[in-house]
Structure 1
Amino acid sequence: MEHRQIWLYLAATAVGVIGGIAAPQSASVLAASINPVLGLLLFATFLGVPLSRIGRAFRDVRFLAAILALNFVAVPIVVFGLSRFVSADLALLIGVVLVLSTPCIDYVIVFAGIAGGAKDRLLAAAPLLMLVQILLLPAYLLLFAGAAAISSIEILPFVEAFVFLIALPLAAAALVQWVAARSKVGVRIEKVTQTAMVPLMMATLAVVIGSQISAVGERLGKLLLVVPIYVAFLAVMLVVGIATARVARLDVAASRALVFSGATRNSLVVLPLALALPASLDLAPLAVVTQTLIELMGMLTFVKLVPRLVR
């Protein structure tokens, strides 16, 4: 499954699309299962990285400075420019700003690892990236979408996402690794969880896409406006990420991890935020899901392309 995971992820996406269109009544049930499935995926992801290395990764000031500069200096400039193309539609604008302004802290670790990126450094940076994006997101919305966007956002879903999708899975993974070092039971849990990594990723993709794809199809005309924006973002951030890594003089593994961090966005975590918006902005969560679909296709390309560009 690990050797064929790219094709399996495509298959999971197809299942989500077909299932969501064939049974639109299942959308609410699938939406309610997003966070539990994503939490299990992150637990398995964290478990696959020796947490004893996190302290060492935090001492890598150069990498942390590069990842912060890329995501919170370069990305906002790119997002501002691209978001002007939908500035006339507040719902689409909020969706684009929400998803493109927030760096990924979950499956970026999976995809970067496939491409030979430094998973431990991304894991060490994840809490910092989450905290900074929580603090800066209101400023991005105010600058890029105006005061009306700020009044529509609730911060509680973001805090809940951090606690249930980052803090708890990370603490659980640390506990299992601690037990594994002292008993056979912990070792078995580690093996079972690592075996389940690919199925969990498949389940996450199928659930997220299946829960929203029917609504996406109904509003396809407007959502097509954001597709070129998301494609352009991936292309621009590929170049900017590589350039940032070279300026920072990072090694190969860190450079690949940096490129993935700049290109992948926090769509699965900000989706609850978008879903909490009022009904008048119901296009915003659909714009987030559309980005997930485009980004998935992009990541399947990145895992092949980035190792060739960053040697």
Structure 2
Amino acid sequence: MSISVQIYGGNDYLPHRYADWMTEPDRVVILGRRDGKLVALVSGLIVDEGCTVVVEGLRVCPSERGRGVAGVIQRFADQYIQQLYPSVRTKRQTKIDEPSAGPTQTLSKFTELGRRAGLSIIGDTDSFEGFISHLRNKLHSTTGSEPGVSVPQMFLIEDEQHLKNILLDPELPSRVELPGGAIIQDWQALQPIEGNLEILARRNLTWLADKPERPAFLSFYTPPYPIPYKGGSLRFNIDMFGTDLVSAKRALAGHFEKVRERREVKGRVMVHVYMNKSLWEGMREFCEGYTGVTRCREYWEQLFLERGM
């Protein structure tokens, strides 16, 4: 899709998700055209049992950027969504902040509810077998495990009712320090309430926790999907919630083992790990030292923003 040219350095999810968006329940997709040509797009998903719209996918084609088109389509989308869903009172979105590029531009009228750090690494599928062994060896040295003794695995949460009980626990947001009280799945921020669980279920996520009941660390990965990077790559996103570094390391190794076991990746894979800012330095060190997988981006952050409609 030409509208994604020069977007996110080839990491754009839109070409993969656009078709699904057109049929997803409670999603609105607005297309802007000039002289019959598609020049802009924005989408909104109605969440929080009809009270909130999560805005995603704002795109403007290269020839129209810097001409006010983004503002026009956003204002139209706000008005149209309120007509379709009068109960919507809040607008929510996430955006990237790269401290190395200078101060981020503050979005007018938005309140920042939370931030997470992002760690980006890249490698070929053939390298991941050795990378997983590299991570496991580092885990042994980190935890002081005896040679030949396995480091405890994270718990795989597969039962739907079990997962529901965990997510609806009113103490979960404080226990795992959810940013702004929300579960952010691949840039989509959802409050942990029953009306949003069906949305999460549609994403086919793989969940890991540090313990089966009342977890203090929770993570999941979204099935890898294609992106335009370097003519065709896979994007593999891992979302983590909690502040324990050893749990974060165990979760990272566990997710890599799951995608290997399921043969979900092939070719070049770009991995983005979203985590509490306190974990970033330790996770960066954890991923270093294996030549087949390297960090491909400087430190960056994901901002969680909200404002009234």
What TM-score range do you get, normalising by the shorter chain? under 0.3
Larger radius of gyration: 2
| TM-score, structure 2 as length reference | 0.27
| TM-score, structure 1 as length reference | 0.27
- Structure ranking higher on relative contact order (CA contacts 8 Å, 6+ apart): 1
Instruction: Point out the structure with the larger helix share.
Output: 1
Instruction: Point out the structure with the larger strand share.
Output: 2
